[in-house]
């Protein structure tokens, strides 16, 4: 692979900004400085920001669940990710009840081989069964295969929901093996009761998706998961935090010194519960549900203060016309929405341009901290000598109207339809290979690959602020 020189851009890392050229050789960054020379390709970055590629720690690609399958395979989803400036995703390999963890991982590797990615891909394993198929010894072996995180659902009773014993035992394995445990925190037992009551009263409209999953069900489960993690002495990552009530126990635990991190998603920063009352309200049935305007503002403040440390897309695209709309009952609708392509654009428009965040904040939340927490740093998530040349040349003024007519996902709708955003990826490199050029996806399936992730021992995964290189 020939060398690539990115000349004249403004480098943005989690630590700050500075003007510099970036030299790439053999897929890695080999020099950062002024007036660098190269015998290879030169990319003019004048007027552009040079940022580390985004790391999306929360996707559901080619997920076959019940009678539904998400709309995007790995080739399609990672093309969309690349278009939005994301160069690495960590997807959930879902254990089916009765299936072993080695078989689960093999199934997801098979999906990746059949539909090769354009960006790099890692896997979390979602633990749903430690009695019939999964064993603690098999779970402990996953780290040696580069799978260093587990996810458990405290919701979806009768489907993938786990009990406290399963969560606690998994947390203990995570502590021993240097793995991070993730939780979907909602009280599934209470939600099950509320859903049954709503249906018995004839309430089937999308708005009841939110009414039966009130904020306190998320807050209670978040607090319980944190307590179990502290009892196990294990690190914990709470996915898709949606409301003030769930934020509070995370903030309190971190102030007490607990190894707890929280993630939110762009949809909770843009969409509120009123969307569920629209004629097409089924589009906004995702979990947890959209909350209030006050919750949106609380989440923005939490990101700025680093009370929440990460932003994932929770990309889970289903078809509105054939899967969501025909299900007249909210409890029968597939939960999820597309969003992998627009995670960084939404954060730029409503965060950076609105002066809620800085450009360095965006890099930290969408790239550096996810890379640190999930065993990818410093290969990913930063611009430093020796790091993978996963780079985004970001045009801060590029104007786009988000629409299902133009997004790369196969989903037939966008929850951000009509939102005009400024800022976007003009050029994207994955390990030095250009996969997006002038905003167009030009990469090939197979430009990305599976990436094995490092163990992150408890107590050492707390992100530290980067130091800006000099010279």
Look at residue 207 and give its three-state secondary structure. helix
Q: pLDDT tens-digit profile of 297-313?
A: 999 999 999 999 999 99
**Whole-model pTM over 0.75:** yes
Give the pLDDT score at 456: 83
Where does residue 331 fall: left (phi above 0), alpha (psi -120 to 50 degrees), or beta otherwise? alpha
Give the pLDDT score at 114: 98
Look at residue 39 and give its three-state secondary structure. coil
Measured between alpha carbons, how far is 111 from 251 in angstroms, rounded to an integer?
38
Q: How many CB atoms lie within 10 A of CB 116?
A: 17
Measured between alpha carbons, how far is 76 from 78 in angstroms, rounded to an integer?
6
23 falls in which pLDDT band (50, 70, 90)? very high
Mean pLDDT across 384-396 = 98
Give the pLDDT score at 467: 42
Mean pLDDT across 279-302 = 98
Q: pLDDT tens-digit profile of 120-165?
A: 999 999 999 998 889 999 999 999 999 999 999 999 999 999 999 9
Mean pLDDT across 21-45 = 95
Residues 6+ apart with CB under 8 A from 165: none
The CATH number of domain 53-373, selected from 3.20.20.140, 3.30.450.40, 3.40.50.360, 3.30.70.20: 3.20.20.140
Structural element, H or E, at residue 196: helix 188-200
Give the pLDDT score at 67: 74
Q: How many CB atoms lie within 10 A of CB 54?
A: 33
With CA atoms as reference, report the closest residue to 104 among 142, 77, 75, 159: 142
Q: What is the domain partition of the chain in residue ranges? A: 53-373
432 falls in which pLDDT band (50, 70, 90)? very high
As separate numbers, helices (DSSP H) first and strands (DSSP E) second, the chain gives: 13, 19
457 falls in which pLDDT band (50, 70, 90)? low
Give the pLDDT score at 367: 98
Give the pLDDT score at 267: 98
pLDDT exceeds cutoff 90 at 382: yes
Give the pLDDT score at 471: 36
Task: Give Cα 182 to chain centroid, integer Å.
Answer: 12
pLDDT exceeds cutoff 80 at 465: no
Look at residue 454 and give its three-state secondary structure. coil
Look at residue 95 and give its three-state secondary structure. coil
Burial of 311 (0-12, 13-18, 19+ CB in 10 A): buried
Which pairs from 35-38 meet CB under 8 Å and 24+ separation? 36/5, 36/7, 37/5, 38/3, 38/4, 38/5
**Residue spans of alpha helices (H) in 261-355:** 266-270, 293-305, 343-347
pLDDT exceeds cutoff 60 at 351: yes
Give the pLDDT score at 106: 98
Give the pLDDT score at 132: 87
């Amino acid at each position: 692979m020939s060398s690539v020189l990115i000349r004249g851009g403004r480098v943005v890392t989690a630590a700050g900004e500075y003007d510099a050229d970036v030299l790439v050789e053999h897929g890695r960054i080999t020099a950062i400085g002024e007036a660098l020379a190269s015998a290879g390709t030169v990319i003019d970055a004048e007027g552009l920001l040079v940022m580390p590629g985004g790391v999306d720690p929360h996707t559901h690609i080619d997920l076959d669940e019940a009678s539904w399958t998400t709309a995007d395979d790995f080739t399609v989803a990672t093309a969309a990710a690349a278009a939005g400036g994301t160069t690495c995703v960590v997807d959930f390999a879902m254990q089916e009840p009765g299936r072993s963890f080695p078989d689960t991982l093999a199934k997801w590797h098979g999906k990746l081989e059949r539909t090769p990615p354009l960006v790099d891909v890692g896997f979390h394993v979602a633990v749903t069964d430690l009695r019939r198929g999964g064993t603690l010894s098999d779970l402990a072996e996953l780290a040696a295969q580069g799978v260093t995180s587990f996810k458990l659902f405290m919701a979806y009773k009768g489907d993938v929901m786990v009990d406290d014993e399963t969560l606690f035992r998994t947390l203990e394995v995570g502590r021993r093996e240097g793995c991070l445990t993730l939780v979907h925190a909602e009280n599934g037992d209470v939600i099950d009761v509320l859903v049954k009551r709503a249906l018995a009263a004839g309430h089937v409209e999308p708005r009841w998706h939110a009414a039966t999953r009130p904020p306190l069900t998320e807050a209670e489960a978040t607090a319980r998961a944190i307590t179990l993690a502290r009892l196990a002495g294990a690190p914990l990552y709470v996915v898709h935090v949606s409301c003030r009530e769930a934020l509070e126990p995370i903030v309190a635990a971190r102030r007490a010194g607990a190894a707890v991190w929280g993630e939110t998603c762009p949809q909770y920063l843009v969409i509120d519960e009123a969307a569920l009352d629209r004629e097409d309200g089924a589009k906004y049935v995702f979990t947890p549900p959209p909350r209030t305007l006050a919750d949106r503002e609380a989440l923005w403040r939490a990101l700025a203060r680093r009370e929440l440390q990460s932003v994932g897309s929770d990309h889970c695209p289903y078809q509105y016309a054939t899967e969501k709309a025909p299900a007249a009952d909210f409890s029968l609708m597939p939960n999820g929405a597309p969003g992998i392509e627009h995670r960084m654009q939404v954060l730029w428009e409503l965060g950076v341009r609105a002066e809620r965040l800085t450009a360095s904040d965006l890099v930290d939340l969408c790239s550096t901290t996810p890379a640190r927490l999930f065993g990818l740093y410093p290969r990913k998530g930063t611009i430093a000598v020796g790091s993978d040349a996963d780079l985004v040349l970001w045009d801060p003024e590029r104007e786009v109207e988000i629409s299902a007519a133009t997004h790369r996902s196969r989903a037939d709708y966008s929850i951000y339809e009509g939102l005009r955003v400024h800022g976007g990826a003009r050029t994207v490199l994955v390990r030095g290979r250009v996969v997006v050029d002038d905003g167009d996806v030009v990469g090939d399936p197979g430009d990305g690959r599976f990436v094995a992730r490092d163990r992150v021992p408890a107590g050492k995964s707390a992100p530290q602020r980067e130091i800006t290189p000099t010279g």
